[in-house]
Chain A
Amino acid sequence: MSMTTSVETTQVYRVFIKASAQQIWDAITKPEFTTRYFHGARVDTTAKAGSPLRYYGPDDSLWGDDVIIEADPPRKLVATWTALWDPDTATEEPSRVTWEIDERDGGMCLLTVVHDRLEGAPNTAAKVSGEGWMMVLSGLKTLLETGEPLAG
């Protein structure tokens, strides 16, 4: 498949997860979860609006240095997004990631990730699209539903 010709500024990913909204919220905001599905990244945040949200790689390097724009636990988390782990994306403008957790019947939640404001971050847009977010969401689903990370 070829890459897109126009610059994408909004990407949307959605998945059903058999877990409670609180479990998903914890999986997004607590390091004991993120290290197991987010490319090994350790999240560090109090998950409150206006507070920092940082990701560290397995070697303790800073992968993301962001700020929480909006927090409505356990339903919605909006934060800036920087991709510092890669020199091609590190200098780009921050984009924005919105996590929406919508509780449904039968112990299911619909998790939607909207990655937008990518106008100033074309390399980031190209790198997170497809494989990037899909791996994260597929891994998150597997971890919450089976207790084990996705085999790789």
Chain B
Amino acid sequence: MTADDDDRVFKALADPTRRLLLDRLFERDGRTLTELESEVDMTRFGVAKHLRVLEDAGLVVTRRSGREKLHFLNPVPIRLIHDRWIDKYTEHQVSALAELKQRLERE
């Protein structure tokens, strides 16, 4: 993964609508533009533009299924950043913090 690829992933994730689209695909994968459009308060053109940014970053992969173009969440680029930036020592601390956050938010 080159620095350019990393940049594209971080930039793609730096937008709340794009993160929302990824969350929607995480809940149910393989959706059409029309389905995704109904999930966000935005024009079809706007959603298509965001999906293109996600696709360029490799976070969304499209596949044809008959006449439909389906959008799939591709989590691999996030995993690569994880593998590169979070070594096994910090991972322990990060997961402890994540657990603490979850616990506090549940209360």
- Within the assembled complex, what's the spacing in Å between the Cα atoms of A40 and B70? 33
Residue pair B76, A137 in contact (C-beta under 8 Å): yes
Q: Which residue of B has the minimal Cβ distance to A111? A: B76
Residue pair B27, A5 in contact (C-beta under 8 Å): yes
Q: Given A10-B30, A13-B74, A16-B1, is A134 in contact with B79 using a C-beta cutoff of 8 Å?
A: yes
Chain B: number of interface residues, binned into ranges: 20 to 34
- Chain B interface SS verdict (over half): mixed
Residue pair B75, A10 in contact (C-beta under 8 Å): no
Min CB distance B65 to A, Å, is: 8
**Residue from the list A10, A16, A150 in contact with B29, Cβ < 8 A:** A10
Min CB distance B106 to A, Å, is: 13
Min CB distance B66 to A, Å, is: 13
Chain A 14-25 interface 0/1 with B at a Cβ cutoff of 8 Å (1 = within): 111000000000
- Chain A interface SS verdict (over half): mixed
Chain A 135-147 interface 0/1 with B at a Cβ cutoff of 8 Å (1 = within): 1011001100000
Please count how many residues in chain A sit with their CB below 8 Å of the partner chain's CB atoms: 26
- Within the assembled complex, what's the spacing in Å between the Cα atoms of A52 and B77? 32
In the complex, chain B residues 28-64 whose Cβ is within 8 Å of any chain A Cβ: 28-30, 58, 61, 63
- Within the assembled complex, what's the spacing in Å between the Cα atoms of A6 and B87? 33
A6 partner residues in chain B, CB cutoff 8 A: 28
- Within the assembled complex, what's the spacing in Å between the Cα atoms of A9 and B63? 14
